[in-house]
Structure 1
Amino acid sequence: MDDDPDFLALTRLTLEKLGPFSIHTCESAHDALAYLALNPVDAIISDYKMLGMDGIELLKTLREQGDETPFIIFTGKEKEEVVVRALENGVDFIIQKTGDPKATFADLLHKIRQAIHQRRLEARIRDHERREADIINFLPDATFAIDTMGVVIAWNRAMEKMTGIPVSDMLGRGDFEYAIPFYGERRPILIDLILRGEDVVAGKYSRIWKEGDKYISEIYIPHLNCGKGAYLWFTASPLYNTEGQITGAIESIRDITGRKWTEEQLKKREEELAAALDASGVGLWDWQIQTGKVECNEYFAEMIGYPLAELAPISIGDWIKLSYQDDLKRFNELINRHFAKQTPIYEDEVRLRHRDGHVVYVLIRGKVVAWDGQGHPLRMTGTVLDMTERKRHQADIEASLQEKETLIKEIHHRVKNNMQVISSLLFLQRKQISDPAIRTLFQESENRVFSIALVHEKLYRSKDLSNVDIQDHFQTMGDYLLSTFGTESGR
């Protein structure tokens, strides 16, 4: 823009030749405002002294409208106060028309390119910062950031929700203002460790651990959640610029109260389960199938005569060495069936070698509790129950039953023989008696002996003494009586 048409034309031709640039010219500030309202440009070059509105007034108007287009005043030699006004209103460069025209236009060309580059760089930086702010704003965890001076530069929506403090009340605040919502006072917190060193937060947290350049801590704050308290998980990391220099720090805060409650309940149940298992004397094992590593508890180690410290760590190979070769084939069959998901659990009774050499009979139960994406087993856990005493008692019972069975057979044989002898003697005696009445008495005695012998035989042969076949007994007894009396009467 220039109110001198000849100079305006010269400037246009020169810049288009040196450019390449596409130049649009205006002879007044008002024409320029009308054009700029409809057409975006990369840079504005204006004379200072123009009719109606000078160059600085035009600059001021554009800046008030929010237009940050690079603005260069190309004018004659002006007073210092003009330069100050121009700088105060946001001019990028002031170039004097006096001097060597070639050098002047070369300087103008350089300043145009420099101003455009600088503005584009600033736009990219703002865009980058805006994207970063958007990312931070939409993070699910409450997050805020500070610069190297400890001034808040980001305060996301989750942080607003957690603290009840809007971003407008926190941005630009320093002097540990960000600590007040959590601790009720201005004090260094985890994020300050990044910028000020570990000494500044010494004693503020019960435990802080580091992962790379990130610091992590966990703390219980009683006044949060309307006085119910909350467990919070903190992570703080440095912010870097493109040169790798720390430009600030960022901290994320997660409410883990629900998780802590679950962990406490789980811990309580694990303690209850451990107490129950301790009372039951059951061995526990946990097998990492891919690595072969097996972890077991003290009861399992005691079963085979080892202290746990001496037995651990143990591998599946060591487990196999403790087993008997005759049991391994069945073990492989059953475990492979479970791995193939053909059985809900693995269960087998096997023998293990005790440290002192004797056999330990155990009942092993287990189940795969973790699989990979291809359906291969990753982890299996289960129990070991010592069956040695039960086996010994079972063997004693079986031996006792065998002895009793032998005794019962002998008693049965003797009773049966004695009944036969008595029955035979009664029969022989009856045959020598001629008196019918006495013969009938002997026959009845003989029948009673037979009935007793029959009952004895039935009881001996019965598999279930609570369910004896009486009908069969009566049938046999009836057939015997009919046979006896029929023969006696001659029919």
Structure 2
Amino acid sequence: MYSILYVDDDEILLSVNKIYLEKNGDFSVDLASSATIALERIPAGKYDAILSDYQMPGMDGIALLKEVRQRHGNLPFILFTGKGREEVVMEALNHGADFYVQKGPDLKGMIAELKYKLNRAIERRRIGDDLKRSRQQMTDIINFLPDATFVIDTRGRVIAWNHAIEKMTGCRKEDILGKGDYEYAIPFFGERMPMLIDTVLQDPPALNQPCSGLRLPENKISQNLFAPRMNGGRGAHLWVHAGPLCDADGIVEGAIETIRDISDVHRIKHDLDQSLNANRGFANILPVGVYEIDLVCQLTFANTITYEMFGLVPEDFNLGINILDYIADPDRERAFREIQGAAKEGSSSGKEYLLQKSDGSTFPALIYGAPVIDPETKQPVGLRGVIIDLTRRKQEALALFESEERLKLILAGGDIGVWDVEMRNLAVHDIYNWCHSTLGYDFEPGKPLTVNACKALISPHDLPKIISAFYRHVEGKTPLFESNFRAQRRDGLWVRVTVRGKVIERTADGEPLRITGMIYAMSREPESDDPLTRSDP
């Protein structure tokens, strides 16, 4: 039931019309015999509408309408007029009357028109109030959003501009609300131009500003773009999201755009990309293979050497490379277990595997790995490390072994021994076999002899010339340390020997650190006489 204040100076009409209006229970009608009385009652009456005669003494209906609009806003107002008063009707409508009803002899028809127009005026006001409240709620919600947000209607006029976008752009909402013609683009781009929000209202969407990462999930659009006008002309990288605003029936009434300044994120990403490129560039100059795999051994990064090791090219990466496919069958299962263990338990100390190239050939390699840890979950997500091709190392080791074996045969056949002296501790190495075969002594293998122990085997008569030859070489006066002397065998007999050597390592001050050389018997026949009783020939 709607509450109506009916104003008329004709008390008969007041009573009659009240009866008819209240007849079906749709209206409750209060009566006022003058405009002055009506203005006194309106504040306390909570009326849904005012019904007023035009011609009344003192203050007519137009004057009452003006007062009602000034004091009570859009309170529905219907004016009674007589026939032939078109100028009154026009004035009433110009001052905000919702409807007018002409008086006439057809009372039943007049009352029906009154009821219809009262209902229309009241419902229209309620719809308007609901819309206003809804928009206010929307405005309040938008103002509480932490991201810069604005809303336009279907004609492109700004109807909401929240606090965050005021702070971002420096443009107050009082200066932008109600404006269209792409006014909202000026704070971002310095000119009027369509923004992402406008594409929501277009079919198909069209963008005029430089952008990247455009996505169209259903009827919402998001993109990354650069706004050159932001930050005093330094510009800003923005993430923008826009979508339609619809009423309860799904009819589009406007669009909303949310803007987030991601300049810091963009800067961090740029720095991260630079760091990543630097790391990968560094990896490409290393002389070993550098790799990164996930927990199922799928390759996520490899440097140039790694591709070359396996006979691959970087384009193969896009096809997917699983490192297990390039480990030979005998080692594949072990490799998978050890890779999983290294990812979970920590870095690998280095394991040797037989690896397989794309052409099927194999080569030995040493693989080191350390877990890749997710910074958020602190859990391993993969493994990164290095691959060292052992092919050349093994070939060199084999060649060295064969060379050493040949040298041993030569030394054994010629009764020749080698020796190596560390000057720091005067320890003599590698002479055990010769001492045993030539002199008959059984020194403990692996335990170094001392220079003093060796001097005890030399004839005292020969020591001075040996020492002299040594110092002449150390001082650079001779290219080699060379001398002949007599050494006593275990059975007491004497053997003439020759020793040759050279300093192969010195300190920064030139002091000898290491001397190496050879020793051999000049004759296989021992001498029995005492060397002290005669001099060397």
TM-score w.r.t. structure 1 length? 0.69
1:284 is aligned to 291
Correspondence for 2:436 among 416, 432, 435: 416
> Does 1:357 pair with 2:368?
no
Paired residue secondary structure (1:36): helix
Q: How does 1:39-438 map to 2 (within 5 A)?
A: 39-74=45-80, 76-77=82-83, 79-192=85-198, 202=208, 204-205=209-210, 209-212=214-217, 213=219, 214=221, 216-219=223-226, 221=228, 224-240=230-246, 247-280=253-286, 281-287=288-294, 294-297=299-302, 298-310=304-316, 312-314=318-320, 316=322, 319=324, 322-329=327-334, 331-332=336-337, 335=340, 338-339=343-344, 343-345=345-347, 349=351, 350-355=353-358, 356-370=360-374, 379-389=381-391, 392=394, 395-396=397-398, 399=401, 412-413=432-433, 415-416=435-436, 418-420=438-440
1:482 is aligned to none
Query: What do you get for the CA RMSD once the two structures are aligned?
Result: 4.2
- Aligned CA distance change for structure 1 residues 110 and 360 (closer, same or farther; 3 Å): farther
2:456 is aligned to none
Contact 1:139 1:158 (C-alpha < 8 Å) held by counterparts: yes
Out of 98-107 and 228-237, give the one that drifted further: 228-237
Contact 1:294 1:313 (C-alpha < 8 Å) held by counterparts: no
How far the C-alpha of 1:278 sits from its partner, in A, is 0.4
Contact 1:368 1:380 (C-alpha < 8 Å) held by counterparts: yes
- Aligned CA distance change for structure 1 residues 95 and 303 (closer, same or farther; 3 Å): same
- Give the aligned residue type for 1:64: Q
Q: Distance in 1 between matches of 2:346 and 2:19?
A: 89
Q: Distance in 2 between matches of 1:252 and 1:351?
A: 57
Contact 1:304 1:360 (C-alpha < 8 Å) held by counterparts: no
How far the C-alpha of 1:143 sits from its partner, in A, is 3.4
- Aligned CA distance change for structure 1 residues 3 and 358 (closer, same or farther; 3 Å): same
2:476 is aligned to none
User: 1:255-277 CA distances to partner (integer Å, 9 max, x unpaired)?
Assistant: 33322322222122112111110
- Give the aligned residue type for 1:363: I
How far the C-alpha of 1:124 sits from its partner, in A, is 1.7
Paired residue secondary structure (2:146): coil
- Aligned CA distance change for structure 1 residues 400 and 21 (closer, same or farther; 3 Å): farther
Identical-pair percentage: 32
User: 1:394-439 CA distances to partner (integer Å, 9 max, x unpaired)?
Assistant: 95499479959998999635523654589xxxxxxxxxxxxxxxxx
How far the C-alpha of 1:58 sits from its partner, in A, is 2.3
- Give the aligned residue type for 1:351: L
- Aligned CA distance change for structure 1 residues 58 and 396 (closer, same or farther; 3 Å): farther
Contact 2:35 2:61 (C-alpha < 8 Å) held by counterparts: yes
Contact 1:303 1:360 (C-alpha < 8 Å) held by counterparts: no
- Aligned CA distance change for structure 1 residues 277 and 368 (closer, same or farther; 3 Å): closer
Q: Distance in 1 between matches of 2:207 and 2:335?
A: 61
Contact 1:59 1:91 (C-alpha < 8 Å) held by counterparts: yes
Q: Distance in 2 between matches of 1:124 and 1:307?
A: 67
2:3 is aligned to none
- Aligned CA distance change for structure 1 residues 157 and 308 (closer, same or farther; 3 Å): same
User: 1:454-487 CA distances to partner (integer Å, 9 max, x unpaired)?
Assistant: xxxxxxxxxxxxxxxxxxxxxxxxxxxxxxxxxx
- Aligned CA distance change for structure 1 residues 395 and 39 (closer, same or farther; 3 Å): farther
- Aligned CA distance change for structure 1 residues 207 and 327 (closer, same or farther; 3 Å): closer
- Give the aligned residue type for 2:432: H
2:519 is aligned to none
Q: Distance in 2 between matches of 1:263 and 1:220?
A: 18
Q: Distance in 1 between matches of 2:317 and 2:117?
A: 80
Structure 1 unaligned residues grouped into runs of 5+: 423-440, 442-447, 453-491
Q: Distance in 1 between matches of 2:291 and 2:313?
A: 15
How far the C-alpha of 1:345 sits from its partner, in A, is 4.5
Paired residue secondary structure (2:31): coil
How far the C-alpha of 1:168 sits from its partner, in A, is 1.6
Q: Which has the higher strand share?
A: 2
User: 1:1-22 CA distances to partner (integer Å, 9 max, x unpaired)?
Assistant: 2334444344334333313444
Q: Distance in 2 between matches of 1:210 and 1:326?
A: 47
Q: Which has the higher helix share?
A: 1
TM-score w.r.t. structure 2 length? 0.64
- Aligned CA distance change for structure 1 residues 295 and 90 (closer, same or farther; 3 Å): same
Paired residue secondary structure (2:179): coil
Q: Distance in 1 between matches of 2:18 and 2:392?
A: 108
- Aligned CA distance change for structure 1 residues 30 and 267 (closer, same or farther; 3 Å): same
Contact 1:345 1:366 (C-alpha < 8 Å) held by counterparts: yes
Paired residue secondary structure (2:38): helix
User: 1:311-341 CA distances to partner (integer Å, 9 max, x unpaired)?
Assistant: 653365x7257353445246336615744xx
